[in-house]
Chains A and B, each alone.
Chain A
Amino acid sequence: MASALINVPPRARRGEIVEIKALISHVMETGHRRTQTGARIPRDIIRLFVCAYNGAEVFRAEFHPAIAANPFIAFSTLATESGTLTFTWTGDNGFSATESAAITVT
């Protein structure tokens, strides 16, 4: 599976806004580049990133080739209850990756 780095604070107070950062290794080949002989290098990107909080989707990002290689995203969510945040990336050529992080909400 592709390497990914997730940053979620391990604990938060109920109602607090929690900052989340996610970084995943992926070439994000645009589909515009060509080899020296002129052949087009086919597109190969992550198209979708979804964050779910105890199963409920709380954030979604749809990526196009203009997102830089090794895509980075920072967003926020309200700390509602203790549980698990899951992060899923899907893309071209059947690409799929999942990470999760636990959060304790007091």
Chain B
Amino acid sequence: MDRRAFLRLAGAGLGAAVAVSVRPADATPAAMEAAIRQVVGGAPVTPGRVKLELPPLSENGHAVPLTVSVESPMTEADHVRAIHVFTEINPLPEVATFRLGPRAGRARVSTRIRLANTQTVVAISELSDGSFWSDRANVVVTLAACLEEA
């Protein structure tokens, strides 16, 4: 029997409220591409200058540590304006947007994200000259976040 059915039966035995998630039909790489278009418009996105660090195998999809950094002098003339993070098959493609600027000193941000299943995560950086750069990383998720009860 699959895990969700098992947990539902187990939850019935406990008499406790159990939350279960269902993955909506629009969680696809196409949705991610559309979300990226929303941010970059028609501008090209060049792989490079961005480094997206995620563990290749995640212990639990509920909290996956992520660090994204961009090579940049972070001066008034040449700095990172924003970093956008997207996922391929989460129910929603957007994860976060970080807005920096020359006062950041360094373009490097860390957080923890939820991943619904094994998938690709994409980081897109917008520089002060209007150019967009990207990196992607694959994460194997052994316990899905959005689909399991907490």
Contacts and interface: CB of A to CB of B under 8 A. Distances in A.
Instruction: Answer whether A and B touch in the complex at a CB cut-off of 8 Å.
Output: yes
Interface of A: 17-18, 30, 32-36, 41, 53, 56, 58-69, 71-78, 80
B105 A41 contact: no
A32 B103 contact: no
Given A59-B100, A78-B103, A67 B17 contact: no
Contact of B113 (A34, A56, A58, A68): A68
Interface of B: 8, 11-12, 17-24, 62-64, 87, 90-92, 94-101, 103-106, 108-115, 146, 149-150
A66 B109 CA distance: 16
B104 A36 contact: no
Contacts of B19: 33-36, 41
Contacts of B94: 64, 66
Given A33-B150, A66-B95, A77-B104, 20 more contacts: A34-B19, A34-B21, A34-B22, A36-B17, A36-B18, A41-B19, A56-B103, A59-B98, A59-B104, A60-B99, A64-B95, A67-B112, A68-B63, A68-B111, A68-B114, A73-B111, A76-B108, A77-B103, A77-B105, A78-B103
Nearest to B105: A17
B90 A78 contact: no
Nearest to A28: B114
Contact of B91 (A32, A61, A63): A32
Q: 7 closest Cβ contacts across the A-B interface?
A: A17-B105, A68-B112, A74-B110, A68-B63, A60-B99, A78-B105, A33-B19
A78 B104 contact: yes
A88 B87 CA distance: 26
Contacts of A62: 96-99
B84 to A, nearest CB: 9
Contact of A18 (B20, B91, B105, B112): B105
Contacts of B90: 66
Contacts of A67: 95-96, 111-114
B91 A76 contact: no
A33 B99 contact: no
B95 A59 contact: no
A64 B22 contact: no
